[in-house]
Amino acid sequence: MYDGYQKNRKINSHPGCFVFNRGVKMNIKKTISFIMAFVIAVSACSIGASARNNISDPKNDAPFVFVHGLNGWGGAEGIDGIIPYWGATTGDLMHYLQYEGYECYSASVGPVNSAWDRACELYAQIIGATVDYGEAHSKKFNHARYGRTYYDALVPDWGELDDAGKIKQIHLIGHSFGGTTVRMLVHLLTEGSAEEMAATPSDEISGLFTGGKSDWVRSVTAICTPHNSATVYYPLDVLGIIDIVMFLSYLYIGVVGRGPLNGELVDFHMEQYGLSEIPGGNEATGLFKAMKNVLANKEDSSAYDLTPEGTHKLNNELEISDNVYYFSYPFSTTKPVPALGIEIPRLSTNPVIILTAAMMGMMAFNDPVLGIEYGKEWLANDALVNTESAKYPFDEPYTDFNSQSINKGVWNVMPVSEGDHGTAIGLFANETKTHGFYSEMCEMLNALPS
């Protein structure tokens, strides 16, 4: 089955900052049970507080599709029932918004896949079709062209006309790398792919690659998205941590993705490389062979797309659509220390990432390879993404958000919110504030004219 047309319904340095140049070079079951029990205990209280006795009348005609970030998960995975990605310790945000009357969905895409692969997976999942990674793309990166089939569309009538001749649109909301993913999706829907059209017979090509569908999306919202990469990359790269983490991540995926937790608790969506199995599907490729293949194709990964080089490449390729509303929500968990010319993390910062917040707030980085200088405006951060980077892609038009003048084809940059990278999705956050943040967002997006 093909997708597209065959739908299935069933940085300059400054005083006070260090300048870093890029050229410087137990028992498993018991442990898992303990962690899961702790998470359940923490999240259960908040999940119950999110419930409503009655579902409100429907408020939106364009559904909201939420897309998770790096190493995240969606509503279709078992772990989401333990601790939801959207809402985290404040409870299931999808349930809360649905009870408020908003039609919304939490999509599941590859947690470490490239922006391209994730966009292909997202498209097939929303429309209800077989994932097509593209003939040209799959040959370039030596992986299978087709992935799993989604027999039930997330939004069954997406892109179709109703009785009044009005097209069914959606709102796309992405956190962190999820923001990059939805940018890629809208770019392909709008512009298509010349490479894929040249490499694929017209009766086989996915509708994602033929373009002309910018009117299928009403808005794109990016939350804490590293539009222009993040300075945390440089020290991690010099220390070799990134390569080590990716190797261990792929090994973990290759092992767990073939075991009983695959499909029941997690889903890695790496069947195109044979690294993990499709839940309930055929067996994966040999682990050694799959590991060798995926490690040989580093550019087809989130790890590459998030680097300064990879992000620079993506920004050169992706085009903003004149028919779509764009919004960005930057966060900051640091505060300035003028006497020292640095930013330090607030006490409320998640202790797991407070060191990265401190490091990003003290060090300016010069990248002679890309010719980029990251100055003091880059010091504020959410512990993983520089606040400046989360505002908008630097090669695309932007404006500060003005509720009285919201235009398409330009990034409407929201005021900076206080909090770290996880606060934005409710992790160790205030429930009322989290719910208010997303209710206001949905209300604003819902008021946009079609």
Residues marked active site are found at 176, 382, 421
Which residues have a Cβ under 8 Å from the Cβ of 10 and sit 6 or more positions away?
151, 152
Which pair of structure tokens corresponds to residue 33?
């049970």
CA distance 12 to 230: 15
Q: Report the SS3 class of residue 366.
A: strand
Burial class (CB in 10 A: 0-12, 13-18, 19+), 293: middle
Paired strand residues for 262: 266
Q: Report the SS3 class of residue 147.
A: strand
Query: Which helix H or strand E contains 18, and what residues bound it?
Result: strand 18-21
- Residues 338-365 as b/e (b if ≥16 CB within 10 A, e otherwise) read eeeebbbbeeebbeebbebbbbbbbbbb
What length does the chain have?
450
Task: Walk across the sheet containing 363-367 and list its strands.
Answer: 18-21, 363-367, 372-374
Strand stretches in 48-168, DSSP E:
64-67, 104-107, 130-132, 146-149
Question: Do β-strands 217-223 and 170-175 pair in parallel, antiparallel, or remain unpaired?
Answer: parallel
| Angle, helices 308-317/177-191, rounded to nearest 10 degrees | 30
CA distance 260 to 28: 14
The secondary structure of 327-350 as a DSSP string is: EEE-EE-EEEETTTTEEEE-TTS-
Question: How many CA atoms are closer than 13 Å to the CA of 366, on its beta-carbon side?
Answer: 11
Which of 368, 366, 389 shows the shortest CA–CA distance to 378? Answer: 389
CA distance 358 to 289: 40
Q: Which amino acid is at 255?
A: V
3-state SS, 382-429, equals: CCCCECCCCCCCCCCCEEECCCCCCCECCEEECCCEECCCCHHHCCCC
CA distance 381 to 389: 9
